[in-house]
Amino acid sequence: MRLPDEPDIPPQINIVPMIDVVFAILTFFVMSSLFLTRSEGLSVNLPSAATGKSQPPAQVTVTVDEQGRLALNREPIELEALENAVRQQIKPNQPLLVVLNADKAVNHGQVVQVMDRLRRVEGAKLAIATQKP
């Protein structure tokens, strides 16, 4: 029962806590989406190059880790089998981009050998992965 001298207060819905929750969820999704990067190769320390340019997404990634081991699309492979394996990746009337991820600690001669094998494959374009300084 209400007393006659009480003022009549209309009911209210306070939406400030709901807005805070929505912004917290939105912030979570934005921050988590920033960490969703796609890594094509194995983790290596790339050399720096100020003149490096971004390439479209790689179709084939060849990685040479710091121990000199080779990997084609994250699968271990021997140097002798690399040329044929890359040749099998080529689709008709479509150039193939081969990105070479070579650790900066790898012997230069070994990187040149891998590049030489990759250049023998017709229809394959070679790119070397670097990171900006």
- Among 6-10, 61-65, 122-126, the least confident range: 6-10
79, 93 Cβ separation under 8 angstroms: no
90, 98 Cβ separation under 8 angstroms: no
Q: What DSSP state is assigned to residue 38?
A: -
pLDDT of residue 55: 60
Domain-embedded: residue 69 = yes
Domain-embedded: residue 122 = yes
Domain-embedded: residue 77 = yes
- Domain count within the chain: 1
Whether the model clears a pTM of 0.85, i.e. scores above it, the answer is: no
Residue 99: domain span: 60-128
Residue 94 has pLDDT above 80, yes or no: no
Domain-embedded: residue 123 = yes
pLDDT of residue 126: 85
Domain-embedded: residue 99 = yes
Determine the Cα–Cα distance for residues 127 and 50; give it in Å rounded to an integer. 15
Domain-embedded: residue 3 = no
pLDDT in tens, 35-78: 776 655 677 787 888 887 766 655 788 889 888 889 888 888 89
Q: What is the CATH number of the domain that holds 114?
A: 3.30.420.270
Domain-embedded: residue 67 = yes
pLDDT of residue 87: 84
Domain-embedded: residue 90 = yes
Residue 2 has pLDDT above 70, yes or no: no
What per-residue string of b and e applies to 56-77 under the rule 16 or more CB within 10 Å gives b?
A: eebbbbbbbbeeeebbbbeeeb
Instruction: Output 83 or 6, whichever has higher pLDDT.
Output: 83
